Amino acid sequence: MSPDDTLTTGEEPAPAMTSAPAGGDATRLGRALVHNLQSVVRGTPGACRLAATAVLAGGHLLIEDVPGVGKTMLAKAVAASIGTALARIQGHPDLLPSDITGISVYNEGTRDWEFRPGPVFSHVVLFDELNRTPPRSQAALLESMEERQVSVDGRSWPLPVPHLVLATQNPVEQAGTYPLVESQMDRFLLSTRLGYPDAATEAALAKERGAQLALTRVTAVATPSELAAAEEEVAELHVHEAVAEYAVAIVRASRSAPDVRLGASPRAAIALIAAARAEAVLNGRAYVTPGDVKRVAPAALGHRLGIDSAGASIEAGIGVVRRLVEQVPAPRP
């Protein structure tokens, strides 16, 4: 099965988006964002939609894939779509926490310490090859990704709003890597992979020397403040009690699933509902359906599961969740 057939997450395909979307500002923004991303990272519509879902939900995205499939271009397209610069952090074994968060330096003129913010103080941050960064430096992201602030020398510094981290890791080459711990995985709202484009798209990319030209044509669909307002709109979307119970049932089922040593946490249920809200908004609805939950569940839960098999990748967890959404009965309309 191609990852793009089912948003790279589940068995039920996403509803088609019409050219004249219904719904509020968040719907229009989200669909324009999807269009921008698909114009740059061609041949992977499911992953582009998931990226837009994460942006609308105000969450972070983990992309696990091989080099050269467009992960960096996706991040650049997200930043260009909200009219902001992309901050890039390259993961390597010598990276220090202060290289991420910033550092306090002494100012001879003022005779005082001044904080110089690191690249994490940006609206959109690309952390390339996060798993090549030592655990101590990976941990520097825990506070920023969850609490949207950074604490240095006893002071807390708020991050800009909105704040989105897109992190990448290569699932094939494991030499010299540091696997992300469960608490770090739990900070990502969604995970996905891009996969390879079809032959025709790959030939077009080769002819055009990649997607750089398409990226220069991307125009902003919103300002950061407009995106922040859209995120608030998504967060207030109605969720029926039965739909929330269905999402929780999937999460709880993961804790007793075969070959799973660590199931999804209560935070995972919160993330699942948040992603389902964004999915509903992309579909032009003011409420969440069980189908929304089902479509985003593998991307919201797969990376959070601890799989017993040695060397298991995120894809293994996604496979478990795909089975669970078929087994857990959904509420009837």
CATH number of the domain enclosing 119: 3.40.50.300
Residues 6+ apart with CB under 8 A from 10: 294, 295, 296, 297, 298, 321, 322, 325
Answer whether residue 263 is part of any domain: no
The pLDDT profile of the chain, 333 residues, written as one tens digit per residue, is 333 333 433 334 455 443 334 447 999 999 999 999 999 999 899 999 999 999 999 999 999 988 888 999 999 999 999 999 999 999 999 999 999 999 989 888 888 888 999 999 999 999 999 999 999 999 999 999 999 999 988 889 999 999 999 999 988 777 778 888 888 999 999 999 998 989 999 999 898 888 888 999 999 999 999 999 999 999 999 999 999 999 999 999 999 998 898 999 999 999 999 999 999 999 999 999 999 999 999 999 999 998 877 556 788 899 999 999 999 999 986
CA 214 to chain centre: 22
- 145: exposed, middle or buried (Cβ count in 10 Å: 0-12, 13-18, 19+): buried
Answer whether residue 224 is part of any domain: yes
Residues 6+ apart with CB under 8 A from 219: 36, 80
Answer whether residue 31 is part of any domain: yes
pTM of the model: 0.88
Answer whether residue 247 is part of any domain: no
SS3 89: strand
As given in the structure block, the two tokens for residue 152 are: 């240095």
Q: List, for residues 197-232, the tens digit of each pLDDT value.
A: 899 999 998 988 888 889 999 999 999 999 999 999
pLDDT at residue number 171: 80
Answer whether residue 240 is part of any domain: no
Contact between residue 193 and residue 3 where contact means Cβ atoms under 8 Å apart: yes
Answer whether residue 267 is part of any domain: no
CA dist 223 and 225 (Å) reads 5
Domains: count for the chain: 1
As given in the structure block, the two tokens for residue 76 are: 């650049």
CA dist 15 and 231 (Å) reads 21
pLDDT at residue number 2: 37
Q: Which helix (H) or strand (E) holds 261?
A: strand 260-262
Q: What phi-psi label fits residue 102: left (phi over 0), alpha (psi between -120 and 50 degrees) or beta?
A: left
Can you give the residue range of the structural domain that contains 22?
3-235
SS3 244: helix
Answer whether residue 47 is part of any domain: yes
Phi, psi of 309 (to 5 degrees): -65, 140
Residues 6+ apart with CB under 8 A from 114: 104, 105, 106, 107
As given in the structure block, the two tokens for residue 121 are: 């103080």
Answer whether residue 287 is part of any domain: no
